[in-house]
Structure 1
Amino acid sequence: MSRWLFDLGNTRLKCAPLDDAGGIGPVHAIAHDGVRFDDELPSVLPAHFTDACVASVAPDGLRTELLDVLARHCQRISLACTQAQFGAVRIAYPQPSRLGVDRFLALLGAHARGTDATLVVGVGTALTIDWLGADGHHHGGRIAPSPTLMRDALHARAAQLPASGGRYVEFGDDTDDALESGCTGAALALVERSLQAAASTGVAPTLLLHGGGAEALRAHLPHAVHAPALVLEGLARWAQPDAL
């Protein structure tokens, strides 16, 4: 039996095979424009495999396109969804379906790493922060624009403000640096405040960073653990409930 995992986000598709030990194999990242994939996906996949496990936060049309491609390669497709409890992980939301499946799977991946209390920070289109206790109890989270989205929004409203460029400094002496410092600094401040709030309970959490924009924050958070495939790690756990 061969199984593949698929994490379909707002800008990229990540996919990897599930290896014999129950972990993830080499990860492939494929960009998309929100409407269609390029021609790379079929070349990444084997001609035939048994199962596909899919997590998607992308628009319905793009998800349908992915499912159509997968149907030509595999026998069964499973769509992950957020659950109130999975193993030891218990979601704080009274309505679990309102917690994005990517955040849910990131929590599963974080707990599977066997760390103590964890602050799970995803940096994609949005900046998401979730606090997970060592016992698997999810204490809730925060959602804010990512630095990239902040820059895009400013550029959309004021075209003279560039959507990218500049370097992070504490106080910029030109517009590009001030924009980069302000938007990245806003994200860092929210992460640091969340760390302080979690630590005020008496347990300093491990900081896990994942998502396409994680590198920009990682440089300023030296104690953070980079987990670029955390959602796929969680999807691997979801795909193997009997292994809990």
Structure 2
Amino acid sequence: MSTWLFDLGNTRLKCAPLRDDGSIGEVVAIAHDDAGAWLDALPTGEVACIASVASDARRVELLDALCARFARLHRVRTEAALGPLRIAYAESAHLGVDRFLAMLGLCGAHAALVVGVGTALTVDLLDAAGRHRGGRIAPSPQLMREVLHARAAQLPAAGGEYAEFADDTDHALASGCEGAALALVERSLCAAHDLLGETPSLHLHGGGAETLRARLPAHAWTPEAVLLGLARWHVLRIA
């Protein structure tokens, strides 16, 4: 029986087959658009597990298309507790399913700071027992640039190189927006050490994380964190 995992974000869909040993196969990334052509690239199989943080309209498009390609669909939602993971939110529905799954996929025997960089920048702290100790949400560097450009069109929405003290506006924008993200992660690591008495391992994922990696402390790069969480969800809930 073939099972596929689907992670529908705000700009693209990532999907991968689930192997018999619980690992994920080759990941396919598909940018979605209003024309609907992206749906033609969907795979077929028996079981589909879907997590979505996209708009309701985009999610319905995907579910309708998958109904014609799969015998069973499972839409994944945030849960208060699953496996070793215990989330901090009193209302589990308030925690995005992408954050929930990234933590589920990465929680283990060690404390971890899980940072995702997409449309938003999210930071979540897990202790060694799998308890979620809370998190933060901020605009990603790219979103900061886009918002600044929308409010002041003379400020470019992209471009520039990072510098500690930039010598032109393009570079200053890149440095300020990326620097804000770096500072948030570094501050979170310090606060996590104060809370737990140890420095957690840093785990990074998300399409916008690449530009930050060179200036962050030692970390694990796990771009498929949400799909790994979906695989673990399937083992705990379906297998």
TM interval, short-chain normalised: over 0.9
AA aligned opposite 2:41: S
Contact 1:115 1:206 in 2 (8 A): no
CA distance in 1 between partners of 2:109 and 2:178 (Å): 27
Counterpart of 1:84? Answer: 80
Structure 1 residue ranges (4+ consecutive) displaced by more than 2 angstroms after TM superposition: 35-39, 41-44
Shift of 1:42: 3.2
Counterpart of 1:119? Answer: 113
Contact 2:119 2:142 in 1 (8 A): yes
Superposition CA RMSD, Å: 1.5
1:65 aligns with 2:61: yes
Summarize deviations over 1:22-75 as a string: whole Å, max 9, x none: 111000111124x45434x433514xx110000001011110110111111110
1:194 aligns with 2:188: yes
Counterpart of 1:160? Answer: 154
Please list, as runs of the form range in 1=range in 2, the aligned pairs for 1:190-229 lying within 5 A after superposition: 190-200=184-194, 201-229=196-224
CA distance in 2 between partners of 1:234 and 1:159 (Å): 40
Shift of 1:203: 1.2
CA distance in 2 between partners of 1:154 and 1:115 (Å): 41
Contact 1:36 1:65 in 2 (8 A): no
AA aligned opposite 2:40: P
Aligned residues: 238
CA distance in 1 between partners of 2:70 and 2:140 (Å): 35
Contact 2:109 2:129 in 1 (8 A): no
CA distance in 1 between partners of 2:233 and 2:40 (Å): 24
Shift of 1:169: 0.5
Return closer, same or farther for 1:25/1:223 CA change in 2, 3 Å cut-off: same
Counterpart of 2:22? Answer: 22
SS in 1 for 2:50: strand
Summarize deviations over 1:143-195 as a string: whole Å, max 9, x none: 00000000000000000000000000101000000000000000000000000
AA aligned opposite 1:56: S
**Corresponding residue to 1:99 among 63, 84, 95:** 95
SS in 1 for 2:149: helix
SS in 1 for 2:51: strand
SS in 2 for 1:77: strand
AA aligned opposite 1:89: L
Structure 1 unmatched ranges of 5 or more: none
Summarize deviations over 1:114-145 as a string: whole Å, max 9, x none: 35100000000000000011100000000000
CA distance in 1 between partners of 2:90 and 2:35 (Å): 34
AA aligned opposite 1:133: D
Contact 1:5 1:15 in 2 (8 A): yes
AA aligned opposite 1:58: A
Contact 2:85 2:103 in 1 (8 A): yes
Question: Sequence identity of aligned pairs in percent?
Answer: 62
Shift of 1:242: 5.8
1:109 aligns with 2:102: no
SS in 1 for 2:98: helix
1:42 aligns with 2:40: yes
Contact 2:117 2:140 in 1 (8 A): yes
